[in-house]
Amino acid sequence: MADENRTEQPKFFQRKSTRELTLKSIVYLILGLLSVAFLIPFLWMISTAFKDPALIYKSPPIWIPPEFILDNFKRGLELMIPSFEKLFTNSFTITFLSMVGTIFSSSLVGFAFAVFKARGKNTLFTLMLATMMVPMPVTLIPQFILFTQLKWIDTWRPLIVPHFFAAAFFVFMFRQFFGTIPRELFDSAELDGCTPFGLYWRIALPLAKPAFATAAIFSFLGSWNDLLAPLVYLNDLNKFTLSLGLANFQATNYTLIQYLMPMAILGLIPILIIFFLAQKYFVQGIVTTGMKG
C-alpha cells in the first residue's frame, strides 16, 4: 500500500545544491511538458466543439475561437439517433442495474472468502482469480448462443443479468477489504447470536462504504464504456446504449467533425463528473487490487 504520509523519498536528483536545483527544474519541466501532452487532446476537443465550423479546418490551428458558439451542440443533438436523452437514459438504466448487481453479489462472495473457513476455499479462490485471464472473445459466442436460446437477444437482460453473479475482480477487491476488518469483531458478534448472514449485512457492509464506492465506480465505468456487449446483443435503435449510439453517430457522420466533438463532450461529461467526485476511491481501488476495471 502506498503510504500517503511518507515524507522521505529516494534521492535520485539531490546531491549538490546547485545541481539539485537544476535537476529539480528539469523534473518539473518534464512533468509539465507531459501534462500538456496529456491535456492537449481535451483542449482541442473543447476548442473544436465551440468553434464556428468554418474555422475548424484552418491551418495553423485556432486554439481559442473568436466567439464561443453553442450551435454545434444543438445541431449535433438533432442528428443523434434515436435521441441523446434516450441513449443516455438507456445507458444509465443498464449501468445502474449492473452496478447494483455487481456490488451486492461480489461483496457477499468476497465476504465469504475473507471470513469463513471451509474446505476447498483456497482452490476455489485460485480458480476464481484464474477466470480473470479468460479472454472475453472466447466466452462471447457461446454466451451469445445461450442468450439466443433464452430469447434474450435485443433485450437488456444479457447486459444486466450476468452482473448479478459476482465478478472475480470485484470479489478479489472486497475480499482484500474485508480481510482488514479485525476478526474479533465477527467472533464477538457471533457469540452475541448474530447469524453468518447478519455478520455480512449488519457488520461488514456498514464498514465497507469505501470499498462499495470503489466497486460502484469501477462497475459504472465498465458498463458505461462497454461497446462489445451492446453491439452484439442490441439491434433495436431505441434500446441502444450511449456508447453504441455514439459509435453509430461516428460511423454515419464521420466527416461532420463540428458535430462529433460536441457529442463526444456530452458523452464524457457523466464520466468526468464521477471521476472528480470520487477520485480518491479510484486511486485506492487501483492501488489495493492492482488492477483496472
Partner 1 sequence: MSIGLKVKAKPLDEEEANRPNFVMRILRKAKQREKVGPLARRRERWFYAMIAPWIIGFIVFQAGPIIGAALLSVADYSASKGITWVGLDNYAMMFEDPLVGRTLLNTIYYTFVSAPLGLIAAFILAFFLNQKVRGVNIFRTVFFLPTIIQGVAVYMLWGWIFNPRFGLVNNLLKLIGINGPGWIYDEKWAMPTLIIMSLWGVGWMMLIYLAGLQDIPMELYEASELDGASGWQKLRYITIPMISPVTFFLFITSIIGSMQVFAPAYVLTRGGPGYATTTIALLIYFAAFLWKRMGYAGALAMVLFVFILVVTLVQFLVAKRWVYYASEVD
For residue 110, the minimal CB distance to partner 1 (Å) is 9
Residues 76-95 close enough to bind partner 1 by CB under 8 A: none
Q: CB neighbours (10 Å) of residue 223?
A: 25
CB atoms within 10 A of CB 257: 16
Please state the closest distance from residue 116 (CB atom) to partner 1, in A. 4
HEC secondary structure over 10-65: CCCCCCCHHHHHHHHHHHHHHHHHHHHHHHHHHHHHHHHHCCCHHHHCCCCCCCCC
Find the binding residues for partner 1 in span 215-244 (CB under 8 A): 221, 224-225, 227-228, 231-232, 243-244
Q: Does the footprint of partner 1 cover residue 211 (CB under 8 A)?
A: no
SS3 sequence of 221-252: HHHHHCCHHHHHHCCCHHHCCHHHHHHHHHHH
Amino acid at 248: N
Comparing CA positions, the residue from 94, 226, 239 lying closest to residue 153 is 239
Pair 144, 182: CB distance under 8 Å: no
> Which of 22, 25, 30, 209 lies at the binding interface for partner 1 (CB under 8 A)?
30
Judged by CB under 8 A, the residue of 3, 67, 184, 192 near partner 1 is: 3
Stretch that binds partner 1, among 31-39, 64-72, 77-85, 207-215 (CB under 8 A): 31-39
Residues 114-143 that bind partner 1 (CB under 8 A): 114, 116-119, 121-122, 124-129, 131, 133-143
Question: What is the identity of the amino acid at 221?
Answer: L
The smaller minimum CB distance to partner 1, of residues 93 and 176, is found at 176
Indicate whether 28 belongs to the interface with partner 1 (CB under 8 A): yes
279 is a contact residue toward partner 1 (CB under 8 A) = yes
Nearer to partner 1, 168 or 215 (CB): 168
Q: Is 39 in the site for partner 1 (CB under 8 A)?
A: yes
Q: Does residue 68 touch partner 1 according to CB under 8 A?
A: no
Told to check if 202 binds partner 1 by CB under 8 A, we report no
- By CB under 8 A, the count of residues binding partner 1 is 110
- Give the DSSP H or E segment for 150: none
Return the number of the residue (69 or 194) whose C-beta is nearest partner 1: 194
Q: How far is the CB of 197 from partner 1 (least distance, A)?
A: 7
Residue type, 149: Q
Give the nearest distance from C-beta 66 to partner 1 in angstroms.
Answer: 18
Nearest Cα residue to 162 out of 94, 87, 225: 94
Q: Which of 70/291 has CB closer to partner 1? A: 291
Q: What is the DSSP string of 75-140?
A: HHHHHSSS-HHHHHHHHHHHHHHHHHHHHHHHHHHHHHHHH---TTHHHHHHHHHHHTTS-HHHHH
**Nearer to partner 1 among residue 96 and residue 104 (C-beta):** 104
CB 206 within 8 A of CB 180: no
Asked if 246 touches partner 1 (CB under 8 A), the answer is yes
Restricting to residues 135-194, name those near partner 1 by CB under 8 A: 135-146, 148, 162, 164-166, 168, 171, 176, 179
